């Protein structure tokens, strides 16, 4: 009888890659940690959920439509985005969350021997997709918890194709102001693709924050990512989009997977994007939570980083993985940060006061 081993078929860059293991479902976690409820403060989900009109779309979604393939290129949503931002529909690509969009861009421009540049402590999927696609990811250390513009520019060589900038950065919440962004784009000098990931842009109220959707007209090598998962509360439907010049987006579109974005996600996103009242309500909730946690963490004398987003980082006098397990016993689910290369830090999503108070109570007890 023939024996089979898969090892000789696996490329070296896949064999060396460490897989991401998601957390278990809530019902399993409750049994594992012996708690009767879980406050999810780990994934930066909007506690208000989707805007009202998007909720109505989800509730009214016809079961018969589940048997019909969705629009393969999200035609109506791209048309809506074009009107919302004053651009051509062909400047947009809709994807199954940011992870898919990252893959589209890297596949479109990178070939064997190429590299991408990003930060060493940021959204890990830029690095992951490059590595498991067989490309080198150059990771530039953060500077004062923010992206190092000069360091990234200095790392560019002839095989660099894409520079990924998360603005505001996940997990630190820091952001580049408009002057820093312009200096960086001048250093790149239009010779590489720059991806500006603005997943949390709707949370930022600072006047010096650069709006990538406006700046792309000035910089044709700029590609902007945005999502409906965070501010618009559609994380469970997995939908995001990118925008750029028609010339660049036409190249990226060649790598797209057709029908990857489901119909209810497309319909809900169309209704969500115009709801400014939902944005303002969410910002008020975030501000209240940010103020409360800042005050309480000062009282506990814990170093912390509070940025312009929907989460904060806290440094603990113990292992972050140990803190995760201890907090889970209290039904509090946070993000341990060793995987982000921030050992002994945790990231905590801003949420309603009931959850914030429960977190502080549990944190005080485990300390």
Helix (H) or strand (E) holding 298: helix 276-299
Residue whose C-alpha is closest to residue 312's, from 171, 169, 168: 171
The rounded distance, in Å, linking the Cα atoms of 72 and 69 is: 8
- Provide CB contacts within 8 A for 139, sequence distance 6+: 118, 119, 120, 127
The rounded distance, in Å, linking the Cα atoms of 263 and 237 is: 10
Cβ proximity of 233 and 48 under 8 Å: yes
Show the domains of the chain with their CATH numbers: 7-49+276-366 (3.90.1150.10), 52-272 (3.40.640.10)
DSSP string, 152-184: HHHT--TTEEEEEEESS-TTT-----HHHHHHH
With 0-12 CB in 10 A as exposed, 13-18 as middle and 19+ as buried, what is 182?
middle
- pLDDT (tens place) for every residue of the chain, 367 residues total: 678 889 888 888 888 877 778 888 889 999 999 999 999 999 999 999 999 999 999 999 999 999 999 999 999 999 999 999 999 999 999 999 989 999 999 999 999 999 999 999 999 999 999 999 999 999 999 999 999 999 999 999 999 999 999 999 999 999 999 999 999 999 999 999 999 999 999 999 999 999 999 999 999 999 999 999 999 999 999 999 999 999 999 999 999 999 999 999 999 999 999 999 999 999 999 999 999 999 999 999 999 999 999 999 999 999 999 999 999 999 999 999 998 999 999 999 999 999 999 999 999 999 9
Say what the pTM is: 0.95
Cβ proximity of 280 and 128 under 8 Å: no
């Amino acid at each position: 009888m023939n024996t089979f081993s898969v090892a000789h078929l696996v490329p070296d860059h896949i064999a060396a890659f460490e897989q991401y293991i998601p957390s278990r479902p809530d019902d399993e976690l409750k049994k594992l940690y012996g708690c009767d409820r879980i406050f999810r403060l780990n994934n930066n989900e909007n506690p208000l959920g989707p805007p009202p009109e998007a909720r109505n779309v989800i509730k009214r979604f016809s079961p018969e439509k589940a048997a019909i393939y969705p629009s393969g290129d999200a035609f109506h949503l791209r048309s809506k985005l074009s009107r919302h931002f004053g651009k051509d529909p062909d400047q947009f690509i809709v994807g199954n969350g940011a992870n898919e969009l990252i893959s589209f861009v890297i596949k479109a421009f990178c070939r064997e021997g190429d590299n991408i540049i990003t930060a060493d402590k940021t959204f890990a999927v830029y690095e992951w997709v490059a590595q498991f696609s067989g490309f080198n990811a150059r990771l530039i250390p953060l500077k004062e918890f923010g992206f190092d513009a000069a360091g990234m520019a200095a790392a560019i060589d002839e095989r660099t194709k894409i520079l990924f900038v998360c603005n505001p950065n996940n997990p630190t919440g820091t952001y580049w102001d408009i002057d820093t962004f312009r200096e960086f784009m001048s250093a790149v000098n239009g010779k590489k693709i720059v991806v500006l990931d603005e997943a949390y842009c709707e949370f930022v109220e600072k006047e010096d924050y650069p709006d990538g959707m406006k700046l792309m007209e000035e910089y044709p090598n700029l590609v902007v990512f945005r999502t409906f998962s965070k501010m618009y509360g559609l994380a469970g439907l997995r939908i995001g989009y990118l925008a750029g010049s028609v010339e660049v987006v036409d190249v990226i579109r060649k790598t797209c997977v057709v029908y990857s974005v489901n119909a209810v996600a497309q319909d809900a996103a169309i209704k969500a994007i115009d709801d400014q009242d939902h944005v303002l309500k969410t910002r008020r909730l975030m501000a209240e939570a940010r103020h409360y946690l800042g005050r309480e963490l000062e009282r506990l004398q814990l170093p912390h980083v509070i940025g312009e987003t929907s989460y904060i980082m806290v440094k603990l006098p113990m292992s972050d993985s140990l803190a995760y397990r201890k907090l889970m016993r209290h039904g509090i689910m946070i993000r341990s940060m060793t995987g982000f290369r921030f050992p002994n830090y945790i990231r905590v999503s801003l949420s309603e006061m009931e959850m914030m108070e429960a977190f502080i109570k549990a944190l005080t007890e485990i300390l």
